[in-house]
């Protein structure tokens, strides 16, 4: 049945594109500005399998000097050249002004684009151009709460209230009002708004903010509806730790435990071998096709705590940490600027004026491209069996095997040279260094400089 759908979609796409070409080239993305919705974005027929996802998180406020959707569209080629197949846009909706701290997660209107970013047509153009480059696009969705000046606030029963009838806020986030998921009218409107972006713009799914703050039965209801939209393959990514996110229909959750353990290995001198426990704990009980997102940076860590350079002790330490997260297993996430070793924290609230310097550290960018190329060139790194090897206290060592394809990763996560006994699983024959293409002569021991890593086959 899926194959039949792909053939029908291909014929439909050829028909649409041919019709447009007869009128003078590829489909015209239409004019920008106003509330025009003239652009037609066909459904995307090549959403990657979950284990093959290489996701790129875009913070529109810092991504370009333009600070808008056009600024993102202008750099889609660079994102594609990095090896990305999924683009995650942080919230693109109008931001609340009442009780505001400038957070994009205080949504004033679920069905509009923030005027600073452009229009719905600008978003359609961005999605169309991303699809044209074989990249899916997912939006950030904020289900737990709204801005205080969201028109929904007129329906007080749609919100949680205290004993005195005052609308409440979640946690200590006083800039937002907490929604009441016992109200089925609110649920229906929320799901309708989620459908809007899939049907109108043909986005390819959602990263759902603070998913733990929303009941599982709502997520099940929402995803039953979204997955029933004809002709779409969707990516659903939960920011949460509850086990029931996968049973509700999510494909992905964040690998918080893995990140924390890797950071502590670097900074608290924990044993490198403990990383396997973190990996296994996050994957224990997951069904085939469900995955954990591996990362060394995201908007929250970067804005409020530290850059990867600070978290992982400099450029090479951070790049080695990325190599481990990208090759050990799971979906891979890169936060914008990470690939050029941006040394500034990147705010995502309104009122800040920071822009990523894309010309910084071209050698780090080249290394990222090489690592992602390795990640995508070998099936073992997306779906192969993981075996942890004995690297002692200081070296993360593992193999990934798919059929006859076997690769070994050996990474020194200390800021000093180390030497380990060569794991017996590597055999007696010489291997090939995938990074250099040269023969790697096996010996009794493997010597590694500070934060040096090897990828061998």
Name the pTM for this structure.
Answer: 0.91
Q: Per the structure block, which two tokens stand in for 47?
A: 């959403």
Strand partners, 208: 141, 238
Distance CA 408, CA 386 (A): 10
User: Residue 370: pLDDT above 80?
Assistant: yes
Q: How many residues does the chain have?
A: 457
Residues of the chain above pLDDT 90, percent? 89
The residues that bridge with 89 in the sheet, in sequence order, are 58, 139
pLDDT in tens, 38-76: 788 999 999 999 999 999 999 999 999 999 999 999 999
- Per-residue pLDDT at 1 exceeds 70: no
What is the arithmetic mean of pLDDT over 381-404? 96
Q: What is the enclosing helix (H) or strand (E) of 17?
A: helix 2-22
Domains and CATH numbers, the chain: 1-30 (no CATH), 43-384 (3.20.20.80), 389-456 (2.60.40.1180)
- Say which DSSP state 431 is in: E
33 pLDDT band (50/70/90 cuts)?
very low
25 confidence band (pLDDT: 50, 70, 90): very low
What is the C-alpha to C-alpha distance for residues 53 and 57, in angstroms, rounded to an integer? 12
For residue 396, the cross-strand partners are 411
Residue 107 DSSP label: B
Q: What is the DSSP string of 290-340?
A: -EEEE-S--HHIIIII--HHHHTTSHHHHHHHHHHHHHHSSEEEEETTGGG
8-state DSSP, 216: H
Q: What is the DSSP letter of 77?
A: H
Closest CA to 211 of 245, 184, 164: 245
Which residues partner with 419 through β-bridges? 447
Residue showing tokens 């994957």: 283
Structure tokens at 365: 């960018």
Helix (H) or strand (E) holding 412: strand 405-412
Per-residue pLDDT tens for 112-153? 999 999 999 999 999 999 999 999 999 999 999 999 999 999
Q: Cα dihedral angle (300, 304, 305, 307), rounded to 10 degrees? A: 70
pLDDT band at 191 (very low <50, low <70, confident <90, very high): very high
Structure tokens at 154: 């007129």
């Amino acid at each position: 049945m899926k194959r039949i759908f792909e053939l029908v979609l291909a014929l439909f796409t050829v028909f649409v594109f041919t019709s447009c070409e007869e009128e003078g080239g590829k489909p015209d993305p239409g004019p920008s500005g106003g509330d025009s919705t003239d652009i037609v974005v066909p459904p995307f027929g090549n959403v990657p399998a979950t284990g093959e996802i290489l996701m790129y998180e875009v913070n529109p406020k810092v991504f370009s000097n333009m600070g808008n959707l056009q600024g993102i569209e202008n750099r889609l080629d660079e994102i594609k050249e990095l090896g990305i197949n999924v683009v995650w846009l942080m919230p693109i909706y109008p931001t609340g002004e009442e009780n505001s701290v400038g957070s994009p997660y205080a949504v004033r209107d679920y069905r509009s684009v923030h005027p600073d970013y452009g229009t719905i047509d600008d978003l359609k153009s961005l999605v169309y151009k991303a699809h044209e480059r074989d990249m899916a696009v997912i939006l950030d969705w904020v289900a737990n709460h709204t801005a205080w000046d969201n028109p929904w606030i007129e329906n007080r029963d749609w919100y949680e209230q205290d004993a005195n009838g005052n609308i409440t806020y979640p946690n200590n986030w006083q800039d937002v009002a907490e929604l009441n998921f016992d109200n089925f009218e609110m649920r229906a409107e929320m799901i309708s708004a989620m459908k809007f972006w899939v049907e109108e713009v043909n986005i390819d799914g959602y990263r759902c903010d603070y998913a733990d703050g929303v009941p599982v039965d709502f997520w099940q209801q929402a995803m039953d509806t979204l997955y029933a939209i004809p002709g779409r393959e969707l990516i659903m990514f939960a920011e949460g730790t509850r086990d029931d996110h996968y049973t509700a229909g999510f494909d992905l959750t964040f690998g918080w435990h893995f990140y924390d353990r890797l950071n502590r290995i670097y900074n608290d001198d924990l044993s490198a071998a403990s990383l396997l426990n973190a990996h296994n704990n996050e994957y224990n009980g997951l069904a085939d096709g469900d995955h954990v997102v591996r990362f060394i940076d995201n908007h929250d860590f970067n804005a409020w705590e530290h850059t990867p350079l600070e978290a992982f002790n400099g450029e090479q330490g951070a790049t080695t940490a990325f190599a481990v997260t990208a090759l050990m297993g799971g979906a891979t996430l890169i936060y914008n600027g990470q690939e050029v070793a941006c040394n500034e924290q990147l705010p995502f609230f309104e009122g800040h004026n920071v822009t990523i310097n894309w010309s910084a550290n071209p050698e780090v960018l080249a290394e990222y491209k090489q690592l992602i190329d390795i990640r995508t060139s070998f099936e073992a790194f997306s779906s192969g069996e993981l075996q942890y090897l004995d690297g002692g206290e200081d070296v993360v060592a593992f193999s990934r095997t798919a059929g006859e394809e076997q690769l070994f990763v050996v990474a020194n996560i200390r800021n000093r040279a180390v030497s380990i006994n060569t794991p017996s699983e590597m055999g007696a024959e010489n291997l090939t260094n995938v990074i250099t293409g040269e023969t790697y002569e096996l010996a009794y021991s493997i010597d590694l400089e500070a934060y040096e890593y090897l990828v061998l086959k």
